[in-house]
Amino acid sequence: MEPDLIRGSDGRRRCFWGAADEAMQAYHDGEWGFPVTDDRRLFEKLCLEGFQSGLSWRTILLKRPGFRQAFANFDIARVARFDKKKVEALLRDESIVRHRGKIESVLNNARKALDLVEERGSLAAYVWQFEAPASRRRPRVTRASLQATSSESIAMSKDLKRRGFSFVGPTTAYAFMQAMGLVNDHMHGCPVRAEVERARRRMRRPV
Choose, from 32, 44, 49, 152, the residue flagged as catalytic.
49
Active site includes 27? yes
Active site includes 17? no
Q: Interior CA angle at 13 toward 42 and 21, to 5°?
A: 65
Under 8 Å between Cβ of 107 and 75:
no
Choose, from 2, 17, 22, 27, the residue flagged as catalytic.
27
Say how far apart CA 97 and CA 47 lie, in whole Å: 12
Choose, from 57, 104, 195, 197, the residue flagged as catalytic.
57
User: Of the candidates 2, 41, 75, which has an alpha carbon nearest to the alpha carbon of residue 179?
Assistant: 41
Under 8 Å between Cβ of 23 and 62:
yes
Active site includes 88? no
Three-state helix/strand/coil letters over 124-153: HHHHHCCCCCHHHCCCCCCHHHCCCCCHHH
Catalytic residue annotation = 27, 49, 57
